[in-house]
Amino acid sequence: MARAAIQRRLTWRVARVAEVVDETPRVRSLALSVPDWPGHRAGQHVDVRLTAEDGYVAERSYSIASAPDDGERLMLTVERIDDGEVSPYLTEELQPGDPVELRGPIGGYFAWTVDDGGPLLLVAGGSGVCPLMAMIRHRAARASMVPARLLYSSRTLDDVIYRDELDRDGGDGSGLEVVHTLTRGHPPGWTGRSRRIDAEMLAELAWPPERRPLAYVCGPTPLVESVASALVALGHDPDRVRTERFGPTGN
């Protein structure tokens, strides 16, 4: 990534909604075209700003779900929080062609590039999969063979975001494994896991601490807190356990 781009002062840009894609009943992806997008690293986010007619402003952060390797196309994936202020607007009101203000890319801490290596342990709850998807897509775009595992907790099978893409990627022989766990019921014949992510599950699925995996944990704050402390308790180096708390976003 060009350093000059990172050095630039953060400014608000006007993006256009190019396309909307319903991922699950509660989650919609927004493909945005952002003129002069300076590029980003997988895991970074943008701030989105909405302005009402009377000048009232609300700002929220959304992870970039698309790989850095996609040019001026930027994909955000938003989960609707029913009593929320911004997410219902983004998932229900915003239409192709509409402008939306954003600034970014933001954040260097929760970011991964293939050069950072692995093994890569990705742990997600709900929409927390978004920045991790950018990492998975970036890894694939670069044909990286860094061993990677995604442990992904959803409420039900219907709530799994990017399900088809993950099914494909998980079996592509590149060394990516995808493990789902469902917390609120599962379909008949479900052979995957069906409970909240706990220490036992992490002990089984995370690489042993001696392999020094690089862990990225993302989702609702309570899930991130419990997974991060469990990983540290299992002996993982706290400096290699990176977290992105989304706040009280359900799940």
* Cα 189 from Cα 174, distance rounded (Å): 27
Q: How far is CA 243 from CA 99, 213, 219, in A?
A: 31, 14, 9
85 binds ligand FAD (CB under 6 A): yes
State which of residues 56, 143, 189, 210 lies at the interface with other proteins (CB under 8 A). 56
Task: Quote the DSSP letter at residue 42.
Answer: B
222 binds ligand FAD (CB under 6 A): no
* Cα 156 from Cα 158, distance rounded (Å): 5
Residue with smaller CB distance to ligand FAD, 61 or 156:
61
Give the angle subtended at the CA of 61 by the CAs of 19 and 97, to the nearest 5°: 25
Q: Identify the sign of the CA torsion 22, 24, 28, 31.
A: negative
Strands 27-33 and 13-24: antiparallel
Residue with smaller CB distance to other proteins, 109 or 143:
109
Stretch that binds ligand FAD, among 83-91, 172-180, 194-202, 232-240 (CB under 6 A): 83-91
Backbone angles phi, psi at 66, to 5 degrees: -85, 160
Stretch that binds ligand FAD, among 18-26, 85-93, 162-170, 225-233 (CB under 6 A): 85-93
Stretch that binds ligand FAD, among 114-122, 133-141, 206-214, 240-248 (CB under 6 A): 240-248
Task: Return the residues of window 79-138 that contact other proteins according to CB under 8 A.
Answer: 83-85, 89, 93, 98-101, 106-111
Contact predicate 77/87, CB 8 Å:
no
Contact predicate 4/64, CB 8 Å:
no
Stretch that binds ligand FAD, among 11-19, 72-80, 158-166, 230-238 (CB under 6 A): 72-80
Contact predicate 37/72, CB 8 Å:
yes
51 binds other proteins (CB under 8 A): yes
24 binds ligand FAD (CB under 6 A): no
CB of 52 to other proteins, least distance (A): 5
- Reading the block at residue 245, the tokens are 């708390």
List of residues contacting ligand FAD (CB under 6 A): 45, 60-63, 77-79, 81, 83-87, 127, 130, 244, 246-249
Residues that bind other proteins (CB under 8 A): 3, 6-7, 9, 14, 50-53, 55-56, 58-61, 83-85, 89, 93, 98-101, 106-111, 239, 242-243
